Amino acid sequence: MSMLNEAMQQAINAQINNELFSMYSYLSMSAFCEHQQFRGCAHWMRLQSQEEHTHAMRLYDFLIARQGRVRLAPIAQPQVDFASIPEVFEKALEQEQRVTDQINSLYEMAFNEKAFAALVELEWFINEQVEEEKSARDVVHKFQLVKDDPAAMLDLDRELGARVAEPAQEN
């Protein structure tokens, strides 16, 4: 028997899917940036995709550790075309805000269900989302500052290309 009730398992499985969709979406954003020759932006988005995969696996591992069933569902097709590179980052920020809402709802459910181990696990995600939103918001702000200045856009692309992967985090 699982240490999480069926409703919690379903909700965590849904969040695994949400995280995998975010992974897929960032990969699509990366491909768009590559196609537009903004390789620094593409690199930034690709690292973001890898982070989302790590988040999904963290929930996956948590569900397994609590003797729950992982039930993977189809991943929706992400957006593939964007009006501009700045719009890609605006969509990334919107996506992070959506994930924050999803995590908050999951946390509230875990609280109501008295799923204490899930609360502890989800606290990590709540803190992570503060950082994820700040990171995306900072880039959106920089694109707003540079407007359509080609030299500034290239500098920003170079800056975003310098992003390094986060070290793997222990559960």
Mean pLDDT, rounded, for 51-76: 97
At residue 167 the predicted structure's pLDDT band, cuts being 50, 70 and 90, is: confident
Q: State how far the Cα of 77 lies from the Cα of 80, in Å rounded to an integer.
A: 8
Q: What domains appear along the chain, each with residue ranges and CATH number?
A: 6-161 (1.20.1260.10)
Residues 97, 18 contacting (CB under 8 angstroms): no
Q: pTM value?
A: 0.94
Burial 125-147 (b: 16+ CB within 10 A, else e): beebbeebbebbeebbebbeeee
| Whole-number Å distance between alpha carbons of 147 and 157 | 13
The residue whose two tokens read 């379903």 is 10
Q: What is the mean pLDDT of the chain?
A: 95
- pLDDT higher than threshold 90 for residue 153: yes
> Residue range 37-62: average pLDDT?
98
> CA triplet 40, 46, 49: central angle to 5 degrees?
150
Average pLDDT over residues 66-87: 97
